[in-house]
């Protein structure tokens, strides 16, 4: 597969464990633990399927080692599979969690504001947004909820047929079907039992099965979202899941943000302060955005003297993305 280009990276960013021997009922109950947003509906009901998904995304964004020798966790520990599971199960709830609300999380409260996590409550979708996301997740054949949806989907099917896409009816599969087919193919290959090298060989195979060829680019895009998006979406969890995720002023920052040295949202205070002498806003010296944070132990020695501009930040994030991408 080709190296990730900046164009691909921006596209992906804009499109954020239990053993397989456990009985399915107990396994599902275990995912309702505090901090795991267990009240949201899930898609994967079979623990073997979910374990396969975890192993799969952990090769798309694998564990790494930081320049200082410390471990840099991959997608599995960061909860990327949870992000995908929540997304696929979104319409098991009357109010699907597609767009997080706000304006503030509770990760960095300031002066009595931001004490509650508004991002944990989803925004209400418009009718067209709801249908568009149902089509993405469920596919055109299963997306309709009401009669008015059917007329809109009929137009989409007609356009698909004109474009030569979909089946004979112009139907295209949704995310659920793509994941179902792809995970089944991986289980058929005993993916979770393979060595790291064998897993990577499968994901780098130019003539991989059709189900995997369709799944890999979709899952990679979703993995990037889950690795670096807000933790309210299910992924990018902190190392200690028994405690709430914190932001710039805390010690339990989400894993994805730690990996790329991004402090995360810091509202309502933000990362700039007003300088009355110059009448302008300047970066908070303790939480700089364009240069390394002098208080961050991960950036010591020579690294602390280096400017961290946008290109450097992009390079850091790309460094933590796997070789195994489209």
Task: For residue 273, list its beta bridge partners.
Answer: 282
Judged against a pLDDT cut of 60, whether residue 300 lies above it is answered with no
Instruction: Give pLDDT, residue 193.
Output: 97
Judged against a pLDDT cut of 70, whether residue 18 lies above it is answered with no
pLDDT digits (tens, 9 = 90+) for 191-235: 999 999 999 999 999 999 999 999 999 999 999 999 999 999 999
pTM: 0.79
pLDDT digits (tens, 9 = 90+) for 112-167: 888 999 999 999 999 999 999 999 999 999 999 999 999 999 999 999 999 999 99
Q: Looking at per-residue confidence, does 211 or 261 come out higher?
A: 211
Instruction: Give pLDDT, residue 108.
Output: 84
pLDDT bucket at 6, cuts 50 / 70 / 90: very low
Averaged pLDDT for residues 39-56:
90
Instruction: Give pLDDT, residue 121.
Output: 92
Instruction: Give pLDDT, residue 296.
Output: 59
**Arithmetic mean of pLDDT over the chain:** 81
Judged against a pLDDT cut of 90, whether residue 287 lies above it is answered with no
Instruction: Give pLDDT, residue 65.
Output: 83
Instruction: Give pLDDT, residue 185.
Output: 97
Instruction: Give pLDDT, residue 292.
Output: 63
């Amino acid at each position: 597969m080709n190296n990730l280009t900046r164009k691909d990276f921006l596209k992906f960013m804009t499109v954020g464990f239990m053993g397989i021997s456990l009985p399915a009922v107990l396994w599902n109950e275990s995912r309702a633990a505090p901090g795991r947003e267990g009240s949201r509906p899930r898609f994967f009901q079979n623990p073997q399927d979910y374990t396969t998904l975890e192993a799969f995304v952990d090769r798309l964004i694998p564990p790494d080692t930081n320049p200082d020798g410390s471990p840099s966790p991959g997608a599995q520990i960061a909860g990327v599979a949870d992000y995908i599971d929540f997304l696929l199960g979104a319409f098991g709830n009357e109010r699907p969690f597609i767009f997080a609300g706000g304006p503030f999380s509770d990760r960095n409260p300031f002066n009595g504001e931001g004490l509650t996590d508004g991002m944990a409550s989803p925004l209400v979708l418009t009718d067209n947004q709801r249908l568009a996301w149902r089509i993405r997740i469920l596919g055109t054949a299963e997306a309709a909820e009401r009669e008015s949806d059917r007329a809109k989907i009929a137009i989409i099917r007609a356009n698909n047929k004109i474009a030569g896409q979909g089946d004979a009816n112009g139907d295209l599969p949704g995310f659920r079907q793509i994941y179902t087919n792809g995970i089944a193919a991986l289980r058929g290959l005993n993916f979770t039992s393979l060595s790291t090298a064998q897993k990577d060989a499968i994901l780098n195979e130019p003539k991989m099965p059709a189900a995997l060829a369709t799944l890999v680019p979709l899952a990679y895009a979703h993995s990037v979202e889950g690795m670096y998006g807000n933790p309210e979406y299910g992924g990018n969890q902190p190392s200690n899941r028994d405690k709430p995720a914190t932001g710039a002023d805390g010690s339990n920052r989400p894993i994805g943000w730690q990996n790329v040295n991004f402090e995360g949202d810091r509202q309502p205070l933000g990362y700039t302060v007003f300088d009355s002498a110059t009448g302008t806003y300047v970066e908070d010296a303790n939480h700089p955005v364009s240069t390394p944070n002098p208080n961050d132990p991960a950036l010591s020695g020579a690294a602390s003297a280096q400017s961290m501009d946008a290109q450097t930040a992009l390079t850091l994030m790309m460094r933590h993305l796997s070789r195994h991408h489209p």
